[in-house]
Amino acid sequence: MADVVTRDDLLQLGARPAPEPAPVRRRWPPRPTGLRAGIFGVGAALPERVITNADIAARLDTNDEWIVRRTGIRERRNLADGQPLAELAARSCERALIDAGRSAADIDHVIVSTITADRVTPGLAPDVALRIGAHGAAAVDVNAACAGFLYALDQAAALVESGRARTVLVCGAEALSRLTDHEDRGTAILFGDGAGAVVVAGGEMDLGCGGFELHSDGAAADLLYAEVDERKLRMEGSEVYRHAVARMVEATFAALERAGLGPTDLDLFVAHQANSRIIEAAAAELGVAPERVALHVEHVANTSSASIPLALWQAERDGQLRPGDTVGLAAFGAGFVWGAGIVRWKERVHVCA
């Protein structure tokens, strides 16, 4: 069982006192079209190769007890050598389409959030569109690191609300094993590969998928980055930890305020799944009860922008998430970039396969 970090622990680590909810800088603009966006289906895909903590401890100076206590992670999945990430991403999209009761022909826009595309160019999205049979659909990659899925979801909702697209596939897909320094015990334990997707289309529900608090601070870039030449993630772990908790809490308070809700209105809080202690600390600061928190790092580790759709998919399978639920999403990543959004889960009741 991973330790829970209390507010006092955070203050001792040098964290600022409880962040005040960020001031509301802009109200959600009225949607001129009257259209609303909603989330319809979810899908996920994981590679078959499992790397346990024991596998890492066999070659680095670390151990299962330390990793579980500090991160909550027991194992992670890695793509097979030569396996394209697009294959995994496309599988998650096909499952999301089935779950939504839609077909590839319905898709007019594919947005893939990734920092680990198979090639520098072209991006992953055109390959995903091809693999799922969304011929001719617009297809674009988004790079906002571990916050990328929220940015992509925001863009998908905006396309639907403006009437520029009817049905958008939003996929987070990462092969972080390609960016990991497998000799560095401080980071080698943290990351895994995976893909998750949701379908966004015009919806009926009040809250839908309509407004996100998104922010950035480029001055913090040197705390978490990968250089083009080196292609290895470098990180000041404890600094990143401190900022991740504070920024996700701030953004979630602000998103709740915009939605006219409070933390106790959340049926589920789904934060970027980097480390169970970060998520538990953020939930404690927000005042969200532990049973309303999605914790999905144990078997998949940090899958960057795939982590939120993977956690949504897992939460639904575990019966923790039901159609109509009010869900708080929060993410934080390299940039720094971060954000939060309050969404209503699924427009219509649909039984997952």
Site residues (vs ligand COA, CB under 6 A): 62, 66-67, 70-71, 146, 185-186, 189-190, 235, 237-238, 240-241, 244, 274-275, 278, 302, 332-333
For the CB of residue 320, give the shortest distance to ligand COA in the complex, in Å. Answer: 22
- With CB atoms as reference, the residue minimizing the distance to ligand COA is 237
The closest of 35, 32, 37, 33 to 210, measured between CA atoms, is 37
Rounded CA gap, 258 and 130, in Å? 38
Return the residue matching tokens 């922008």. Answer: 305
Return the residue matching tokens 């903590």. Answer: 53
Instruction: Give strand pairing partners of 337.
Output: 216, 333
Q: Which is nearer to ligand COA, 71 or 167 (CB)?
A: 71
Q: Is 272 a catalytic residue?
A: yes
Q: Is 302 a catalytic residue?
A: yes
For the CB of residue 270, give the shortest distance to ligand COA in the complex, in Å. Answer: 15
Q: Which is nearer to ligand COA, 155 or 302 (CB)?
A: 302
Instruction: Give strand pairing partners of 302.
Output: 191
For the CB of residue 276, give the shortest distance to ligand COA in the complex, in Å. Answer: 9
Q: Among the options 78, 272, 275, 296, which is catalytic?
A: 272
Q: Among the options 146, 171, 215, 243, which is catalytic?
A: 146
Q: Which is nearer to ligand COA, 12 or 121 (CB)?
A: 12
The closest of 271, 274, 320 to 297, measured between CA atoms, is 274
Rounded CA gap, 347 and 339, in Å? 23
Rounded CA gap, 242 and 278, in Å? 8
C-alpha distance across the termini of the chain, in Å:
31
Contact 341, 259 (CB under 8 A): no
Q: Which is nearer to ligand COA, 19 or 323 (CB)?
A: 19
For the CB of residue 328, give the shortest distance to ligand COA in the complex, in Å. Answer: 18
Give catalytic residue positions. 146, 272, 302
